[in-house]
C-alpha cells in the first residue's frame, strides 16, 4: 500500500479517444502536419480522421494528456485505487462509454460532465518512426463548464480532498476560469498546483490565459520545444534550456511558502530541473531505438511518474527517477498503455 490516500491527486482536462496509426510522410504532407507536433483540428483536418481510419491500421486508446498522466500515476501507485480523480467533458455516445470503461479499468475516479450537444473528443495520433503528430478534435472536451460541474458541491468536495493538482496546458483553451478556481484553492491551502506547457501553440496563442495561471504554479512541466516557444514569447532572450528553467522559476508567484519547480524534458537528452537555488540535469534511461514502438504518451507518462511520487511526498530527485521509469515503459508500447504492474522502487 502506498502512502497516497484516495482522491489525493486531482486532474482536470480534455478527455479524448486517441485514434492512432503509423502513417507515411505523404499523409503528413497532405495535411501540412509536422512530424512531431500537437495542434487543434481545423476544418481542413476533418477529412484526416476519416482517411486515417480508412487507409491505415488504427488503434483506439483512451487519451487526453491530463487523463493519461493521472492514469499513469495511479498505475505506478497501484494501491489504494482511486488515488487519482479526473474531471472533463464527454458526449453521450459510444466513444464516451469507452472512456468511462477505460477510466474504471485504470482505477481512477473519473467524474465526467456529460452533454449531448457535442460528441466525445478524439485525437488523431499520426506516427512516423519515433515521432508523433497529434491533431485534437476537442468537440465535447471543449464544452466543460465550471458552473455545470466544478462548482457542484459533490464535485468541489473532491477538489478539497486533493493535495496535488495537475492540469495540462491544453485545458487553457477550454476553461481558464475552472483552472483558476482550482489553482487559487491550491495556493490558499498551501497545496501543490502543477501545470504543463503542453504545446508551442499554447505558449504562443493562449499566452494571456497561461500567464493568468502562472502565478499559482508550483511545478511547471514542458519539453524543450515548448520551453523554447515559452522563452521566446516571454522575451527571455535565451535558448539555453537551463537558463529558461531558471527564468521560468523566477516569474511572480502568489504562494511564497513554496518556490516554483520547473522541469524540462528533452526526449533522449537529459531532463533539466530548476528547484530551490539550483539547476540539475538527470540522464534518461537508455533504450535501444529498436525497442521504441511509439513516443505518443511519453510526456504524459513522465508527468504521471513524477506525480506518483510527489503525491507521496517523496524528494524531487525520486520524482524524476519515477518519471523516467514511466516514460521508458510507455515508449515500448502503442499509445499511452502499460503492463499490469510497474517494476519500480
pLDDT tens digits, 10-46: 999 999 998 999 999 999 999 999 998 889 999 989 8
The verdict on residue 129 lying in a domain is no
Beta carbons within 8 Å of 2's beta carbon, 6+ residues apart: 77, 78, 79, 80, 83, 312
Q: 29 an active-site residue?
A: no
The verdict on residue 341 lying in a domain is no
Distance CA 289, CA 121 (A): 32
Assigned C-alpha cell, 251: 516569474
The verdict on residue 35 lying in a domain is no
Assigned C-alpha cell, 138: 476537442
Report the CATH number that the domain containing residue 207 is assigned in CATH.
3.40.1190.20
> What pLDDT does 54 receive?
94
> What pLDDT does 92 receive?
97
Beta carbons within 8 Å of 171's beta carbon, 6+ residues apart: 12, 13, 14, 66, 144, 178, 179
Assigned C-alpha cell, 147: 458552473
Compute the average pLDDT of residues 66-94. 97
> What pLDDT does 295 receive?
80
Distance CA 188, CA 255 (A): 7
Q: How are the residues of the chain apportioned to helix, strand and coil, as percentages rounded to the nearest 5? A: 45, 25, 35
Per-residue confidence at 62, pLDDT binned at 50, 70, 90? confident
**Residue 2 scores a pLDDT above 80:** no
State the total domains in the chain.
1
The verdict on residue 2 lying in a domain is no
The verdict on residue 290 lying in a domain is yes
CB of 112 within 8 A of CB of 99? yes
3-state secondary structure of 170: helix
Assigned C-alpha cell, 107: 482505477
Other CB atoms closer than 10 Å to residue 277's CB: what's the count?
8
Distance CA 83, CA 149 (A): 20
Percentage of the chain exceeding pLDDT 70: 100
CB of 173 within 8 A of CB of 202? yes
Residue ranges making up the domain that contains 211 = 9-16+63-120+139-331
The verdict on residue 288 lying in a domain is yes
Assigned C-alpha cell, 144: 466543460
The verdict on residue 83 lying in a domain is yes
Of the residues 109, 218, 294, 300, only one is catalytic, namely 300
The verdict on residue 304 lying in a domain is yes
Distance of CA 244 to the CA centre of its chain: 20
**DSSP letters spanning 67-95:** HHHHHHHHHHH-SSTT-EEEEEEEESSHH
Amino acid at each position: 500500500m502506498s502512502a497516497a490516500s484516495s482522491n489525493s491527486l486531482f486532474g482536470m482536462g480534455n478527455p479524448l479517444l486517441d485514434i492512432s496509426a503509423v502513417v507515411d510522410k505523404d499523409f503528413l504532407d497532405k495535411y501540412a502536419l509536422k512530424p512531431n507536433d500537437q495542434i487543434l483540428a481545423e476544418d481542413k483536418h476533418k477529412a484526416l480522421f476519416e482517411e486515417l481510419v480508412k487507409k491505415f491500421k488504427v488503434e483506439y486508446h483512451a487519451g487526453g494528456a491530463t487523463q493519461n498522466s493521472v492514469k499513469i500515476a495511479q498505475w505506478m501507485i497501484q494501491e489504494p485505487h482511486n488515488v487519482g480523480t479526473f474531471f472533463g467533458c464527454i458526449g453521450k455516445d459510444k466513444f464516451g462509454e469507452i472512456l468511462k470503461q477505460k477510466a474504471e479499468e485504470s482505477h481512477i475516479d473519473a467524474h465526467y460532465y456529460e452533454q449531448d450537444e457535442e460528441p466525445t473528443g478524439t485525437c488523431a495520433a499520426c506516427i512516423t518512426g519515433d515521432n508523433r503528430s497529434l491533431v485534437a478534435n476537442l468537440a465535447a472536451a471543449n464544452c466543460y463548464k465550471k458552473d455545470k460541474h466544478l462548482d457542484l458541491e459533490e464535485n468541489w468536495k473532491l477538489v478539497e480532498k486533493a493535495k496535488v493538482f495537475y492540469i495540462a496546458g491544453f485545458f487553457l483553451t477550454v476553461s481558464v476560469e475552472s483552472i483558476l478556481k482550482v489553482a487559487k484553492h491550491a495556493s490558499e491551502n498551501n497545496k501543490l498546483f502543477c501545470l504543463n506547457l503542453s504545446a508551442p501553440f499554447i505558449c504562443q496563442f493562449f499566452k494571456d490565459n497561461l500567464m493568468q495561471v502562472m502565478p499559482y504554479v508550483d511545478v511547471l512541466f514542458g519539453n524543450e520545444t515548448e520551453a523554447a516557444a515559452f522563452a521566446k514569447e516571454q522575451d527571455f532572450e535565451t535558448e539555453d534550456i537551463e537558463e529558461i528553467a531558471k527564468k521560468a522559476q523566477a516569474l511572480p508567484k502568489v504562494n511564497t511558502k513554496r518556490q516554483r519547480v520547473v522541469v524540462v524534458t528533452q526526449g533522449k537528452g537529459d531532463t533539466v530541473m530548476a528547484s530551490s537555488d539550483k539547476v540539475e540535469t538527470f540522464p534518461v534511461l537508455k533504450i535501444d531505438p529498436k525497442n521504441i514502438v511509439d513516443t505518443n504518451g511519453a510526456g504524459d507518462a513522465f508527468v504521471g511518474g513524477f506525480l506518483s511520487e510527489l503525491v507521496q511526498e517523496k524528494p524531487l530527485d525520486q520524482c524524476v527517477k519515477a518519471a523516467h521509469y514511466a516514460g521508458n515503459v510507455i515508449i515500448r508500447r502503442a499509445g499511452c498503455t502499460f503492463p499490469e504492474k510497474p517494476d519500480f522502487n
